[in-house]
Homo-oligomer: A and B are copies of this chain.
Amino acid sequence: MACVVSVSSALAKPHILKSPDSNITVIVDGDKELNYSVKAADVELISPSRLGVVMRDRSMGNKVSTKYRSATFSDDWTQPWGENKHISCAYNELAVVQTSSAGEFITRFRAFDDGIAFRYEWDLKDKETIVIDDELTEFNLQSGSMTWSIPGSFESYEHEFRSLILDDVEDANTPFTLQTPQGIFASIHEAALYDYPEMTLCRTEADVLKAELAPLPDGVKAYVPSRFATPWRTVQIAADAVGLINSSMILNLNEPSKIADTSWIKPQKYVGIWWGMHLGTQTWTMGSRHGATTENAVKYIDFAAANNIQGVLFEGWNEGWENWGGNQHFDYSKPYDDFNMEYIAEYARNRGIELWAHNETGGNIPEYEAAMDSAFAYYHKLGIHTLKTGYAGGFKGGYYHHSQYGVQHYQRVVELAAKYGLMIDAHEPIKETGIRRTWPNMMTREGARGMEWNAWSAGNSADYLCILPFTRLLSGPMDYTPGIFDIDYSRAKADKGRLEWNGPNADCCIKTTLARQIANWVIIYSPLQMAADQIENYEGHPAFQFFRDFDADCDWSRALQGEIGKYIVVARRAGDKYFLGAGTNSEARTLEVSLDFLKPGVTYRADIYGDLPGSTNPEDLCVISKSVVSTDVLTVSMLPTGGQAVVFTQLE
């Protein structure tokens, strides 16, 4: 029998929580059940909505007393890397503390200038494991809101975004971004997801989206301790769409770093043996087209060393790929015979290049968990500091990827990796909820349709790329693996033709201009940023100077302009250099961008990588170098599916 905790409420009148700037208001109310509503600029954003979790066979009893604790918090903090290294954190808090003989149940609200959040915390006296059957949290939104999201799958985030009127949303994953008819922008997500299933959203009535947790195979949502705090349920709020991007609320809701010495954690640019396998011109398995060979490794390391690139990735370096398609089984410490790991690791060290490890698990979690300690020790011995993981396959035992089982596994990997000095780039991951603040070795992840979809599907449209920054990217870094220069794969096709690796998509190609591929290095933030094409497509290309100049270790970022699904303009600073990335959807667009983010009084050389006006060939490019100062306005002209990328270098 289910019992709704925090049902009874002795609230005499609604309790009000305001953001530090007083613009956002949370109203906590409730007669029988606690509910909350949210206003922004005095306009209702969330109408009274249900709260609570369903614990199996547990009750707070009848004699529940309720107290309301208010607090104010303000502090600045720094992180070893991130879109912004220095972050301001200021919020007001209201904790509704319900106490009975069974223990304590707290519903904690925080109001920031850039959104609101709440979570459930409990400390039950019996100390026994609690079975969570459901979460009652609802978001009662405004009728007619426009929304952007992917479907609510518990298995994968790799879906096309939908632009839907709220009425048409059946289920969705987060970040779930919306614009109310009154023009307010908001995005629903979660923060600090540990030891709990992910939250998706499911429409229960008219404008109400309810939290839907990924279940375990037995139908239970989670088994949690008697003392526990759920992830934060978050609603980022902004007056314009780019305001959502410029929010740091998700990070501010996470705990400070648990890694004391973070000096080994370093953002980096990387190249790797990867795209060829997706194109079908190379293979992960050993054979005549094997990508991860010693010979290719040396080439890629040399290329990285010559091009101001810090890291190299080689997928398909270890035994096990030949088992694909049946019972996945990998050996995480055994290189293929044609990949001389010891030699390659030493060669990379001698050239000052970070060699990456790669672990594709195929979803075989028990095997990976049994092997990973010795595997990580092996990588540590080789001087490896970066590990890309992959989970392309259903989990054994019928577990959903995004269930509590999955969340726990991914977290074990992060913590073990920290012990061995490994930074993590997770593919087929759990969505980012800001845990990178607490575990700054959790660098980046996939968690959306990345570049690979251009190799064997209808591909990612420029419209898709104009929704991504306002949805998936709100949650944190993405290893999209940007920057394909050979837009129609002409060289790959000419070299040797493609294997029939993944069906009939032999005619697919990149769906943007080349300039947009470059701009994506700036737009799609990742502390591990890949130049994803095969290096022969970069060699000798004048546009590759951008990636040489680019710095994955930025200090500051700001989304300057943007409309969801239409266009985006982002600026970042790294040291003395600034970078700008702009992209449009399927429509040509000209934007006027103020350069007032540059340091005043300094002359910069702007190297502007843009579309070639009038061209119909997406590989055509126009690079303009000219002097600019902070009072200048840059005219950004983009062709359909186009973009523009700029490096600003101090001249004086």
Decide if B549 touches A545 in the complex (CB within 8 Å). Answer: no
Determine whether A619 belongs to the interface, using a CB cutoff of 8 Å to chain B: yes
Q: Mark A451-491, 1 if CB is under 8 A from B, else 0.
A: 00000000000000000000000000000000000000011
Give bound CA distance, A295 to B77, whole Å. Answer: 40
Stretch at the interface among A275-283, A523-531, A536-544: A536-544
Instruction: Kindly list the 5 A-B residue pairs having the minimum CB-CB distance in the complex, ordered from nearest.
Output: A623-B623, A542-B545, A620-B626, A621-B625, A306-B306
A540-B548, A540-B649, A542-B545 known; A622 vs B620 contact (CB < 8 Å): no
A540-B548, A540-B647, A542-B607 known; A620 vs B627 contact (CB < 8 Å): yes
Determine whether A554 belongs to the interface, using a CB cutoff of 8 Å to chain B: no
User: In residues 287-315 of chain A, which contact B (Cβ within 8 Å)?
Assistant: 305-307
Residues of B within 8 A of A622 (CB): 622-625
Determine whether A652 belongs to the interface, using a CB cutoff of 8 Å to chain B: yes
Determine whether A617 belongs to the interface, using a CB cutoff of 8 Å to chain B: yes
Query: Chain A residues in contact with chain B, CB under 8 A?
Result: 305-307, 490-491, 494, 514, 540-546, 548-549, 605, 607, 609, 612, 615, 617, 619-627, 647, 649, 651-652
Q: How many copies does the complex hold?
A: 2
Residues of B within 8 A of A491 (CB): 651
Shortest CB–CB separation between residue A281 and chain B, in angstroms?
A: 15
With A540-B649, A620-B627 given, name 10 new contacts (CB 8 A).
A490-B651, A490-B652, A514-B625, A540-B548, A541-B605, A542-B609, A542-B623, A621-B624, A622-B622, A622-B624
Select one of B307, B619, B624, B627 contacting A625, CB under 8 A: B619
8 contacts between A and B (CB under 8 A): A491-B651, A514-B625, A542-B607, A619-B627, A621-B623, A621-B625, A622-B624, A623-B625
Residues of B within 8 A of A490 (CB): 651-652
Select one of B605, B607, B612, B627 contacting A626, CB under 8 A: B612
Decide if A542 touches B540 in the complex (CB within 8 Å). Answer: no
Give bound CA distance, A632 to B458, whole Å. Answer: 33
Shortest CB–CB separation between residue A269 and chain B, in angstroms?
A: 14
Give bound CA distance, A651 to B491, whole Å. Answer: 7
Decide if B652 touches A494 in the complex (CB within 8 Å). Answer: yes
Residues of B within 8 A of A305 (CB): 306
Residues of B within 8 A of A615 (CB): 626
Shortest CB–CB separation between residue A190 and chain B, in angstroms?
A: 41
Select one of B540, B543, B625 contacting A541, CB under 8 A: B625
Which residue of chain B has its CB nearest to the CB of A606? B620
Residues of B within 8 A of A625 (CB): 514, 541-543, 612, 619-623
Give bound CA distance, A609 to B623, whole Å. Answer: 9
Residues of B within 8 A of A620 (CB): 624-627
Give bound CA distance, A627 to B487, whole Å. Answer: 13
Which residue of chain B has its CB nearest to the CB of A549? B540
Select one of B549, B605, B652 contacting A619, CB under 8 A: B605
Residues of B within 8 A of A494 (CB): 652
Residues of B within 8 A of A541 (CB): 545, 605, 607, 625
Shortest CB–CB separation between residue A510 and chain B, in angstroms?
A: 15
Residues of B within 8 A of A623 (CB): 542, 621-625
Residues of B within 8 A of A540 (CB): 545, 548-549, 647, 649
Give bound CA distance, A26 to B306, whole Å. Answer: 58
Give bound CA distance, A624 to B407, whole Å. Answer: 48
Give bound CA distance, A305 to B548, whole Å. Answer: 15
Select one of B543, B546, B617, B647 contacting A627, CB under 8 A: B617
Which residue of chain B has its CB nearest to the CB of A615? B626
Residue of A612, A623, A647 with most chain B CB atoms under a 10 A cut-off = A623
Give bound CA distance, A250 to B605, whole Å. Answer: 45
Give bound CA distance, A546 to B624, whole Å. Answer: 14
Residues of B within 8 A of A621 (CB): 623-626
Give bound CA distance, A622 to B626, whole Å. Answer: 9
Residues of B within 8 A of A612 (CB): 624-626
Give bound CA distance, A514 to B605, whole Å. Answer: 13
Give bound CA distance, A491 to B603, whole Å. Answer: 12
Shortest CB–CB separation between residue A265 and chain B, in angstroms?
A: 26
Which residue of chain B has its CB nearest to the CB of A546? B542
Which residue of chain B has its CB nearest to the CB of A544? B545
Residues of B within 8 A of A619 (CB): 605, 625-627
